[in-house]
Amino acid sequence: TYVLIQQCARSINIPVFASGGIGAHSASAVVAGGAAGVVLDSQTYLCRDSAIPIDVQLRFERLDGSETALLRDSKSNAIRVM
């Protein structure tokens, strides 16, 4: 995401927002790299005021990425699932 944001920000004249692989601690680095902002979606699941049930929040909190699998559809497009 960091390299792509830098390339996009240099080559186009519209605001660029980064999404994917961005967390609360890396958001400032992406903005420093030229992004107008970041999209935090799943990171908000663990906020204190989240509507997600606490048992689901606890499961999300323990995820480390090893729970995913890479699948391919009939056209060989990659799809990551949990």
* Residue 26 DSSP symbol: T
**φ and ψ at 65, to 5 degrees?**
100, -20
pLDDT of 36 strictly over 90: yes
pLDDT at res. 23: 76
pLDDT at res. 22: 82
Contact 16, 3 (CB under 8 A): no
Three-class secondary structure of residue 30 per DSSP:
helix
Q: Provide mean pLDDT across the span 61-73.
A: 86
- Parallel, antiparallel, or unpaired: how do β-strands 37-39 and 78-81 relate? unpaired
pTM of the model: 0.55
Q: Provide mean pLDDT across the span 47-51.
A: 87
Q: Would you place residue 35 in the very low, low, confident or very high pLDDT band (cuts 50, 70, 90)?
A: very high
pLDDT of 13 strictly over 80: yes
**Cross-strand bridge partners of residue 70:** 80
Q: Which residue has the tokens 């799809």?
A: 79
